[in-house]
């Protein structure tokens, strides 16, 4: 079997498609939207499982099965799961205002990903691959308001970046959980703009802990695995627990064959790693 290396980007119109760009990471609705002709695939060499770095922005990466280190997930008791009577709407209402869409408009293409508010003044956290392409950056709030923004600091190794949106105040920052509160089986919600559909929320559980993905350019370790539907455009969005706390930042999905959509294998950078990286990024911003 061949292993496909895909690095889709965002949408030219900021409404959902993905443009393919050179090596790195992701954005895409299954309505079935017309496929962006820029989504091309490059054949590398061998395996059946592919991994796309999730999220709109510049680049997406697909990893072959041999690059995904499943490793044993710690056996911890699940602390919260969705029951038939669970009401997720209050959690969504609390978190949604803190989730944004990050737009990058370049000379030749435009792209979009997701992000979360970490400062009341418009400081946004997203994936590095969402904003690494050259272009003008802007941020669209959950209210629909779009404002100019600038990239202030990046960490390509951990695929995280800080973006400062201008002219904002009084935003509600997200609250981060601690890694020791996350257990396999916990219910989680994924927020973002998959395929450009802003304000989308999906639900699932934490499927495994401590996954490692090697894109060939960087090695992401300690990732959370989830079966909550994550697609291109979700990159940089929030994965939250039943208390509305961010347990991870969506970064990648795995898929099979020619499929580029979610097959229930999504990955997020854990909150502990995110907190450490954000502290370093803010210190040098």
Active site residue 159: yes
Please give the torsion angle defined by the CA atoms of residues 14, 17, 20 and 25, in that order, rounded to the nearest 10 degrees.
80
C-alpha span between 2 and 48 (Å, rounded): 7
What are the tens digits of pLDDT across the range 127-152? 999 999 889 999 999 999 999 999 99
pLDDT of residue 109: 82
- Provide the residue ranges of all domains of the chain, joining segments of one domain with +: 90-174
pLDDT of residue 15: 43
pLDDT of residue 66: 35
C-alpha span between 52 and 258 (Å, rounded): 12
pLDDT of residue 107: 86
Selecting among 14, 25, 129, 158, the annotated active-site residue is 129
C-alpha span between 134 and 125 (Å, rounded): 18
C-alpha span between 162 and 278 (Å, rounded): 8
* 3-class DSSP state of 180: helix
Which residues of the chain are under the pLDDT cut of 50? Answer: 1-13, 15-85
CATH of domain 90-174: 2.40.10.10
Selecting among 138, 235, 260, 262, the annotated active-site residue is 235
C-alpha span between 26 and 55 (Å, rounded): 4
pLDDT of residue 70: 45
Selecting among 3, 36, 159, 227, the annotated active-site residue is 159
pLDDT of residue 157: 92
pLDDT of residue 227: 96
pLDDT of residue 275: 95
User: What's 227-262 look like in SS3?
Assistant: CCCCCCCCCCCEEECCCCCEEEEEEEEEEECCCCCC
C-alpha span between 248 and 251 (Å, rounded): 9
Active site residue 207: no
What are the tens digits of pLDDT across the range 2-44? 222 222 334 444 544 333 333 334 433 233 332 332 222 222 2
Specify which residues 239 forms β-bridges with.
190, 248
Outline where the chain has alpha helix (H). Answer: 89-95, 128-131, 271-284
C-alpha span between 61 and 252 (Å, rounded): 8
- Mean pLDDT across the chain, nearest whole number? 76
């Amino acid at each position: 079997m061949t292993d496909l290396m895909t690095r889709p980007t965002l949408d030219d119109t900021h409404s959902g498609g993905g443009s393919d760009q050179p090596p790195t990471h992701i954005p895409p609705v299954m309505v079935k939207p017309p496929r962006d002709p820029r989504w091309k695939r490059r054949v590398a060499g061998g395996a059946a499982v592919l991994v796309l770095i999730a999220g709109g922005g510049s680049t997406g990466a697909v990893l072959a099965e041999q690059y995904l280190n499943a490793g044993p997930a710690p056996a911890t008791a699940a602390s919260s799961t969705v029951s038939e009577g669970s009401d997720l709407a209050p959690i969504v209402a609390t978190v949604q205002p803190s989730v944004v869409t990050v737009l990058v408009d370049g000379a030749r293409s435009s792209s979009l990903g997701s992000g979360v508010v970490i400062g009341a003044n418009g400081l946004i956290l997203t994936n590095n691959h969402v904003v690494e392409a050259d272009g003008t950056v802007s941020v669209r709030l959950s209210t629909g308001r779009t404002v100019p923004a600038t990239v202030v600091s990046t960490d390509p190794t951990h695929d995280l970046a800080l973006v400062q949106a201008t002219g904002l105040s009084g935003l509600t920052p997200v609250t981060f959980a601690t890694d020791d509160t996350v257990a396999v089986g916990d219910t989680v919600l994924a927020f973002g703009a998959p395929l450009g559909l802003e304000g989308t929320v999906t639900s699932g559980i934490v499927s495994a802990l401590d996954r490692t993905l090697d894109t060939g350019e960087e090695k992401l370790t300690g990732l959370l695995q989830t079966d909550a539907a994550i697609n291109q455009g979700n990159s940089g969005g929030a994965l939250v627990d039943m208390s509305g706390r961010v347990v991870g930042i969506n970064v990648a999905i795995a898929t099979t064959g020619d499929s580029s959509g979610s097959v229930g294998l999504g990955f997020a950078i854990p909150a502990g790693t995110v907190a450490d990286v954000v502290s370093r990024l803010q210190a040098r911003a």
